[in-house]
Structure 1
Amino acid sequence: MSYIQGFVTAVPTAKRQAFEEHARKAAELMREFGASRVVDGWGVDVPDGKVNDFKGAVAAKDDETVSFGWMEFPDAATASACFEKMMADPRMRELGDMPFDGKRMIFGGFEPLMDEGEAVSGGYVDGFVIPVPAANREAFRDMALSAWPIFRDHGARRDVEAWGVDVPRGTVTDFFRAAHAEDGEDVVFAFLEWDDKASRDAGMKAMMEDERMKTMPPEMPFDGKRMIFAGFEVV
């Protein structure tokens, strides 16, 4: 089964170029070590939330921008081997210091519940982190599968909903705290890929007017007030 390693990071806005250069060089090595795809997104539409949000997830400061990214692997074993190779390869150290505070980066391993559509090269990404009761795993998957045709018909290119299976607790922050997850809840890492932001904005507007939205279940299998979301352009 495929496997996703997800990340959220706070990057000094002034260091965007350094971040992009570091990300590109690291991605080349990660693909050599077994990753099938590496994506890094730069926050361009990161709203403040009433309960929680992406900025709070990584304790972002006023002069920092949130980055949302992931690596895709054919399976968890390949992901584990990749990270072992990364730690042992001197070329990783030659990349120099990371252009962000690694102590506030949150990360985890996720198993896709659904993966529909085709990946976009570049483009725009809607990223989500969602706390879901463990008992509602299948209900969440069913809801996501029901919504996908509506997203697809209005321009979304790919929808991935991935369930946390190896999500560590952090000393500063982590995915559980980011989502304000409660006992008995797991974390979902999800993303929608679009060709560009204009396609996304038009598609979301059209979705709200689509009659099929009225047939969606009135109650979501999670607390929507604690779902965090934002828009990112792929760097």
Structure 2
Amino acid sequence: MSYVEGFLVAVPAANKELYRKHAQEAWSIFAEFGMSRLVEGWGDDVPDGKVTDFKRAVELKPDEVALFSWFELPSKEVREAANQKLMTDPRMQQMGQMPFDGMRMVFGGFSVMVDEGPGGKMGHIDGYVLAVPKANKEAYREMAAKAAPVFLDHGATRVVECWEDDVKDGKVTDFRRAVKATKDEAIVFSWVEWPSKEAREKGWPKLMEDERMKYDPASTPFDGQRMIYGTFTPIVDETVKGEKRKTA
């Protein structure tokens, strides 16, 4: 089964180009260690929430932008081996200081449970993080699997849902605090890829009107009030040449 390392980051708006260059420079090392894709999503429409939101998740400052980012890897074993190598590789040290506050970066490992759509050229992202009762894992997977074709019918190119595997508590921020998860809940890291912002804006109203997306709130297998979401523009989207995406 494929594996995802998910990140939420707060980056000073003035450091956008510096951050992009930093990520692209690191990509050559990441790819060498087995990572198949790196995406850095720059916040486009990241709304305030009543209970939770991306801004609170990373303790965003007024001059910063929230990022939704991820690595894709062929397996958890590749991810663990890569992380060990990255910790000791001198090239990572030579890259210098990171252009953001690493103490507020949220990160964790996830197993892919739904991966639908051909993918391809991407110009816009819907990013989500939510807490789902562990007992509702299969109910959530079934709901997500039914919703994925609806997104694809209205212009999305790929829908991915990832279930918590290695999500640790952080000193300042972490995924569990981001969505106020309880002990009996797991974190879901999810995204929808669109070919462009225009395609997303055109497809979204039709998506919301589609009868297949109608749900009874009483039967929804998670607390939607604590879900955090936003739209993001990819500023880095690097893929290993010749890599074929594996579905779950």
Normalised by the length of structure 2, the TM-score is 0.92
Between the aligned residues of both structures, percent identity stands at 51
| 1:10-33 alpha-carbon deviations (Å, 9 max, x no partner) | 000111010000011112210111
| 1:159-212 alpha-carbon deviations (Å, 9 max, x no partner) | 110001100100101000001101200100000000011111111111122233
Query: Residue 155 of structure 2 contacts residue 194 of structure 2 at CA under 8 Å; is this kept in 1?
Result: yes
Alpha-carbon distance, 1:71 to partner = 0.4
What amino acid sits opposite 1:202 in the alignment? K
Structure 2 gap segments, 5+ residues each = 236-248
The question of 1:174 aligning with 2:174 is answered yes
Q: What residue number does 2:74 align with?
A: 74
**What secondary structure sits across from 1:62 in the alignment?**
coil
**Larger mean Cα displacement after TM superposition, 196-205 or 172-181:** 196-205
| 1:35-90 alpha-carbon deviations (Å, 9 max, x no partner) | 01111110011000000100000000000000110001110010011111111211
Q: Which runs of 4+ in 1 moved over 6 A?
A: none
**Aligned CA-pair RMSD:** 1.0
Query: Residue 2 of structure 1 contacts residue 75 of structure 1 at CA under 8 Å; is this kept in 2?
Result: yes
Query: Residue 116 of structure 2 contacts residue 149 of structure 2 at CA under 8 Å; is this kept in 1?
Result: no
Q: What residue number does 1:161 align with?
A: 161
CA distance in structure 2 between the aligned counterparts of 1:118 and 1:69, rounded to whole angstroms? 20
**What secondary structure sits across from 2:162 in the alignment?**
strand
CA distance in structure 2 between the aligned counterparts of 1:110 and 1:58, rounded to whole angstroms? 19
Q: How many residues align?
A: 234
**What secondary structure sits across from 1:126 in the alignment?**
strand
Q: What residue number does 1:97 align with?
A: 97
CA distance in structure 1 between the aligned counterparts of 2:55 and 2:10, rounded to whole angstroms? 8
CA distance in structure 2 between the aligned counterparts of 1:68 and 1:121, rounded to whole angstroms? 18
Alpha-carbon distance, 1:217 to partner = 4.7
Are the structure 2 counterparts of residues 121 and 91 from structure 1 closer, same or farther at C-alpha, using a change threshold of 3 Å?
farther
**What secondary structure sits across from 2:187 in the alignment?**
strand
Q: What residue number does 1:20 align with?
A: 20
CA distance in structure 2 between the aligned counterparts of 1:147 and 1:217, rounded to whole angstroms? 14
Q: What residue number does 1:196 align with?
A: 196
Q: What residue number does 2:136 align with?
A: 136
Alpha-carbon distance, 1:94 to partner = 1.5
**What secondary structure sits across from 1:187 in the alignment?**
strand
